[in-house]
Amino acid sequence: MDFTIDKKEQYALIDLKETFLGNEIPASLEEVARTALKASHNLILHLEKCTDFDSTGAMVLRKINRLCANDLGIFIVVTRNEDLIEKLDNAKIQDLEIFYTVEEAIDAVFMHDLENEFGAGEDGYDPEDYDNGED
């Protein structure tokens, strides 16, 4: 499998250089993704050159998506290929995020982490702040 990987603190970016996500490539992609997810719970898959995938490719994308979600992370696919986007939509991968650019995907990772951070903390409600005048 021809790819590059860029690991940052909050995400890992896998740039797949293959045109077809099928045959033996999905298994290799899953292995790379699992390794990357040990360091970060967010994964961006750049499919700039990819134009198609088979059922094995769809299955691995579902698996990677589930692995990210189980760790409160996000899995994002980046592609501008409208046919590929339609095929990804038809694959019914639950809550799969698709963006046109890597920059948009990185922004989405940071927004996702902020949402998780605010959602995991206290709700900030203190009943004493809301004196109802009954003294």
126 confidence band (pLDDT: 50, 70, 90): low
**Alpha helices (H) in 1-135, listed in sequence order:** 25-37, 55-70, 82-90, 102-120
CATH number of the domain that residue 36 is part of: 3.30.750.24
State pTM to two decimals.
0.84
Q: pLDDT value at position 40?
A: 87
Contacts of 58 (CB under 8 A, 6+ apart): 91, 93
Whether residue 135 is contained in a domain is answered as no
Whether residue 106 is contained in a domain is answered as yes
Q: What is the pLDDT of residues 20-38, one digit of tens each?
A: 999 999 999 999 999 999 8
Q: What is the pLDDT of residues 88-112, one digit of tens each?
A: 999 999 989 999 999 999 999 999 9
Number of domains in the chain: 1
Whether residue 72 is contained in a domain is answered as yes
